[in-house]
């Protein structure tokens, strides 16, 4: 019996392999990888963590051309296999560790990361039927769309290094605000950028300096909406 048909596409200069069991890499998420890579120059030394990594393209494009180590985590064994395969194909196999399991179980308590990238499923369960071509595990965010995102936020709160940063992708600015209202206050949202396929939030520790133009929103979080930026997904 033939297996799934393997496809390849260019993502930030890397050739990424995947099949229909794994969420197809979205072109606009290259902007998330570019943003992450730009951040690395100003972040403290330390590894990068990618949560809900899928085929690994965002994390791999972020650390390519740097000396940073990358840890990728996903619950889907097919995604884990492709992330490992793509790391080797990119010549990064010695610096990339791919872990299979639940987000909260995949890390040691003492591990800290200077940059955390998270791309969790954010579609509410009752709306997943609108995306029949996408694998359910990769898009189903639970009743409110934030079940996995809450796990990502807890991991960020527990494992983000001092002076580090996190980039968390959700479906909308409103979802970001809803998620941050559920947090412990260990991190705050400094900036949100809206793109064709969703919104990416920049999170940091509360005592870290916010960017110019940041204004507090609500009790524990802040938001600087820069949705007027050029949409990279068009």
Q: So what's the pLDDT on residue 232? A: 27
pLDDT digits (tens, 9 = 90+) for 56-68: 999 999 999 999 9
- Please check the confidence at residue 222 and state whether its pLDDT lies above 90: no
> Could you tell me if 55 and 24 are in contact, meaning their C-beta atoms sit under 8 angstroms apart?
no
- pLDDT single digits (tens) 3-18: 789 999 999 999 999 9
Q: Over the stretch 114-146, which tens digit does the pLDDT of each residue have?
A: 999 999 999 999 999 999 999 999 999 999 999
Asked whether the predicted pLDDT for residue 27 surpasses 90, the reply is no
Which tens digit of pLDDT belongs to each residue from 141-186? 999 999 999 999 999 999 999 999 999 999 999 999 999 999 999 9
pLDDT at 3: 79
Q: Are 214 and 226 in contact (CB under 8 A)?
A: no
* Residue of higher predicted confidence among 221 and 17: 17
CATH architecture assignment, domain 27-222: 3-Layer(aba) Sandwich (3.40)
pLDDT of amino acid 208:
63
For 38, the token pair is 């730009």
Q: How confident is the model at residue 22 (pLDDT cuts 50, 70, 90)?
A: very high
Structure confidence at residue 195 as a pLDDT band (50, 70, 90): confident
Q: How confident is the model at residue 26 (pLDDT cuts 50, 70, 90)?
A: confident
Q: CA-CA distance, 176 to 189, in Å (whole number)?
A: 8
Whether 1 shows a pLDDT value over 70: the answer reads no
pTM tops 0.95, yes or no: no
Phi, psi of 27 (to 5 degrees): -55, -35
Beta-bridge partner residues of 215: none
Using one digit for the tens of pLDDT, what is the confidence trace for 77-123?
A: 999 999 999 999 999 999 999 999 999 899 999 999 999 999 999 99
The Cα–Cα gap between 201 and 158 comes to 18
Residue 228 has pLDDT above 50, yes or no: no
| Rounded Cα distance, 202 and 210, in Å | 10
Contact 26, 146 (CB under 8 A): no
């Amino acid at each position: 019996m033939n297996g799934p048909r393997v496809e390849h596409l260019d993502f930030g200069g890397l050739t990424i392999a995947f099949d229909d069991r794994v969420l197809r890499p979205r072109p606009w998420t290259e902007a998330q990888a570019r943003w992450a890579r730009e951040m690395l120059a100003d972040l403290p030394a330390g590894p990068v963590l990618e949560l809900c990594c899928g085929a690994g393209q965002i994390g791999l494009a972020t650390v390519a051309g740097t000396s940073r180590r990358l840890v990728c985590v996903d619950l889907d064994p097919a995604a884990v296999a492709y992330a490992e395969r793509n790391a080797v194909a990119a010549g990064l196999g010695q610096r990339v560790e791919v872990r299979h399991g639940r987000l909260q179980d995949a890390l040691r308590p003492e591990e800290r990361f200077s940059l955390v990238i998270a791309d969790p499923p954010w579609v509410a369960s009752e709306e997943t039927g609108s995306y029949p071509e996408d694998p359910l595990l990769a898009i189903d965010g639970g009743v409110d769309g934030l079940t996995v995102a809450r796990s990502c936020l807890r991991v960020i709160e527990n494992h983000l290094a001092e002076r580090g940063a996190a980039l968390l992708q959700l479906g909308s600015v409103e979802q970001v605000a809803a998620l941050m209202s559920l947090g412990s206050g260990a991190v705050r949202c400094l900036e949100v950028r809206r793109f064709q396929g969703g919104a990416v939030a920049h999170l940091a520790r509360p005592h870290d300096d916010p960017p110019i133009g940041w204004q507090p929103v609500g009790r524990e979080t802040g938001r600087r909406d820069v949705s007027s930026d050029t949409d990279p997904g068009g």
